[in-house]
Structure 1
Amino acid sequence: MTNPAEELLDVVDEHDRVIGTALRGEVYRRGLTHRCVFIMVRDPAGRIFVHRRTDTKLFSPGAYDMFVGGVVGSGETYAEAAVREAEEELGVTGIVPRPMFKFLFREPDGGPLNWWCDMYEAEWDGPVDPQESEVAWHAWLTPEELADRLARDTFVPDGVEAYRRYLDFRAA
């Protein structure tokens, strides 16, 4: 397995136009704007796939997340990354993410990290075999159970922002 810090990413401007490339470790160190995908995966009962990230993750190790996803590789489209990331993290094949909206995430409290987030949703009705290097724990939670966890557990900040926007998007 390749070291995630050595993954080549496209660096983009405030309008999501590619302006260069850099290794992920450099992107994080320098706070360069890059691209990510977020996929809200639900089962047919409407439960949401929620997981705790492994303690070895570069960003928010050990935090919970209600999205699967990750960085978009250099030259990769958002749609390609959404399928790749969802299938890798869930350990499945044949998932079909549907695009929803995109926004620019800026790290809270003026932190240096920011990235474009392309949001997707998907339904999965089969078993999952989450990637051990990415997922330390997982469960399918109702929206109410997720709300309880959000109140007591530490979630990734970009996921919290994305979930707020997701709820607003679904309510509109």
Structure 2
Amino acid sequence: MSDTVIADEQVQLVDARNRPCGSTSRVTLRRLGCWHRATYIVVRNPAGELCVQTRTLIKETHPGWYDLAAGGVVGAGEAALPAARRELEEELGIRRVPLVALGEFRFVDGALRIYGSLYGVRYAGPLRLQPEEVAAIRWLAPSAALALEHATPDTRVALELALRQDGW
């Protein structure tokens, strides 16, 4: 997907109480610091290790950093679960797997204002990385993933919440 297509993508806007209130382009969302929804999917293998993604250097925010969860912005009119399934397939090529709902959280960092929907999945199959977004992956123990210095702050919060859930 080209940068122009991503910038023009319509995303769901919400108010400070997470109520839908319209949509806008991704570029306007970033410029104005609007509240929006995003999904986070923690992927673990049978050994309990986490799939940690290295972001490409062309990412709009935190290029080259680590994502501790897959996921992304919820599109205009899209519900969280279908958005999570879409993002998981786009980024890692994982499809038709049961996602476990692990909770929701609110994240604010400067102009970034997100209502996150968190899911978990156990997965042992092959991965197909999205070249525009994922430069590489590695499997790490949860403690090693949380110790990474350049992990994106929103995925760090998502992982910490996931690890507080029984069995994750």
**What is the TM-score when the length of structure 2 is the normalising length?**
0.92
Amino acid at match of 2:130: Q
Give the stretch that moved more between structures: 13-22 or 30-39.
13-22
User: What is the rounded CA distance, in whole Å, between the counterparts of 1:116 and 1:19 in structure 2?
Assistant: 14
- Aligned: 1:65 with 2:67: yes
Give the stretch that moved more between structures: 93-102 or 33-42.
93-102
User: What is the rounded CA distance, in whole Å, between the counterparts of 1:115 and 1:37 in structure 2?
Assistant: 10
Quote the residue 1:166 is aligned against: 162
Q: Give matches, 1:78-93, under 5 Å.
A: 78-93=80-95
User: What is the rounded CA distance, in whole Å, between the counterparts of 1:77 and 1:59 in structure 2?
Assistant: 24
Shift of 1:63: 0.9
**Aligned pair partner of 2:12 in 10, 13, 17:** 10
Amino acid at match of 2:155: G
- Aligned: 1:115 with 2:114: yes
CA contact (8 A) 2:59 2:133 kept: yes
Shift of 1:170: 4.0
Shift of 1:92: 2.9
The alignment's C-alpha RMSD in Å is: 1.5
Give the stretch that moved more between structures: 39-48 or 135-144.
135-144
| Unaligned 5+ runs, structure 2 | none
Amino acid at match of 1:102: E
**What is the TM-score when the length of structure 1 is the normalising length?**
0.90
Higher-helix-fraction structure: 1
User: What is the rounded CA distance, in whole Å, between the counterparts of 2:20 and 2:39 in structure 1?
Assistant: 16
Q: How many residues align?
A: 165
Shift of 1:169: 3.5
- Aligned: 1:97 with 2:99: yes
User: What is the rounded CA distance, in whole Å, between the counterparts of 2:14 and 2:107 in structure 1?
Assistant: 13
| Unaligned 5+ runs, structure 1 | none
Quote the residue 2:123 is aligned against: 124
SS at match of 1:56: coil
